Chains A and B, each alone.
Chain A
Amino acid sequence: MNAPLPRWVDLALMPLINVAVAFLISGLVVLVVGGNPLDAAVLLVKGAFGSGYNLGFTLFYATTFIFTGLAVAVAFHAGLFNIGGEGQAYVGGLGVGLVALSLDAYLPWFLTFPLAIIGAALFGAAWAFIPAILQAKRGSHIVITTIMFNFIASALMVYLLTGMLQKSANLGPRSRDFAEGAVLPKLGWLFEPLGLAMGSSPLNITFLLALVVAALVWVLIWRTRLGYEMRTLGISPKAANYAGMGEVRIIVIAMMISGGLAGMMALNPVMGDQARLQLEFTEGAGFVGIAVALMGRSHPAGIVPAAILFGALYQGGAELAFEMPNITREMVVLIQGLVILFAGAMEYMFRPALSRIFARRPATGTHAVPEAEGS
Chain B
Amino acid sequence: MDTIVQLLDLTVRSAVPLLLACLAGLYSERSGIVDIGLEGKMLGGAFAAGAIAAMTGNAWLGALAGIVVAVMLSLVHGFASITNRGNQIVSGVAINFIAAGLAALLGQSFFNMGGRTPQLMPEGRFNPITLPFADAVRDVPVFGPIYAELISGHNLLAYLAFIMVPVTWWVLFRTRFGLRLRAVGENPAAVDTAGISVSWARYRAVIICGVLCGLAGAYLSIGVSAGFVKDMTAGRGFIALAALIFAKWRPVAAMWACLLFGFLGAIEIRYQGVALPLIGVVPVQLMQALPYILTVVLLAGFIGKAIPPKAGGIPYVKER
A337 to B39, CA, bound (A): 14
Among A141, A294, A334, A349, contact of B102 (Cβ-Cβ < 8 Å): A334
Known: A32-B109, A140-B296. 18 other contacts (CB 8 A): A33-B106, A81-B89, A81-B90, A134-B300, A139-B301, A148-B299, A149-B296, A151-B289, A155-B286, A327-B105, A330-B101, A330-B105, A333-B100, A334-B100, A341-B95, A345-B87, A348-B84, A375-B313
- Which B277-320 residues have a C-beta within 8 angstroms of A? 283, 285-286, 288-289, 292-293, 295-296, 299-301, 308, 313
Instruction: Give 1 or 0 for each of B70-103: 1 = CB within 8 Å of chain A CB.
Output: 0000001001110011111111011111111111
Among B80, B104, B242, contact of A346 (Cβ-Cβ < 8 Å): B80
B172: interface (CB < 8 Å) = no
A306: interface (CB < 8 Å) = no
- Neighbouring B residues of A336 by C-beta, 8 Å: 97, 101
Is A34 touching B286 in the complex (CB atoms < 8 A)?
no
Task: Knowing A151-B235, A344-B94, say if A141 contacts B308 (CB, 8 Å).
Answer: yes
Which size bracket describes the interface of B in this complex? 35 or more
The A interface, classified by DSSP as helix, strand, loop or mixed, is helix
A11: interface (CB < 8 Å) = no
- Neighbouring B residues of A337 by C-beta, 8 Å: 93-101
B36: interface (CB < 8 Å) = yes
* Chain A nearest CB, measured from B18 CB (Å): 14
B238: interface (CB < 8 Å) = yes
A159: interface (CB < 8 Å) = yes
- Which A304-349 residues have a C-beta within 8 angstroms of B? 326-328, 330-338, 340-341, 344-349
Among B80, B87, B91, B313, contact of A372 (Cβ-Cβ < 8 Å): B87
B258: interface (CB < 8 Å) = no
Instruction: Give 1 or 0 for each of A44-70: 1 = CB within 8 Å of chain B CB.
Output: 000000000000000000000000000
A156: interface (CB < 8 Å) = yes
Task: Knowing A143-B89, A345-B87, say if A152 contacts B98 (CB, 8 Å).
Answer: no
Which size bracket describes the interface of A in this complex? 35 or more
- Neighbouring A residues of B97 by C-beta, 8 Å: 287, 333-334, 336-337, 340
A287 to B106, CA, bound (A): 22
- Neighbouring A residues of B103 by C-beta, 8 Å: 330
Among A144, A294, A348, contact of B85 (Cβ-Cβ < 8 Å): A348
Among A141, A333, A346, contact of B101 (Cβ-Cβ < 8 Å): A333
Identify the closest chain A residue to B313 (Cβ).
A375
Identify the closest chain B residue to A290 (Cβ).
B93
- Neighbouring B residues of A151 by C-beta, 8 Å: 235, 238, 288-289, 292
Among B80, B87, B299, contact of A141 (Cβ-Cβ < 8 Å): B299
- Neighbouring A residues of B96 by C-beta, 8 Å: 337
B245: interface (CB < 8 Å) = yes
Closest 4 CB pairs of A and B: A334-B101, A337-B97, A330-B104, A345-B91
B197: interface (CB < 8 Å) = no
A185: interface (CB < 8 Å) = no
- Which A338-375 residues have a C-beta within 8 angstroms of B? 338, 340-341, 344-349, 372, 374-375
- Neighbouring A residues of B102 by C-beta, 8 Å: 29, 334
Is A145 touching B94 in the complex (CB atoms < 8 A)?
no
- Neighbouring A residues of B81 by C-beta, 8 Å: 345
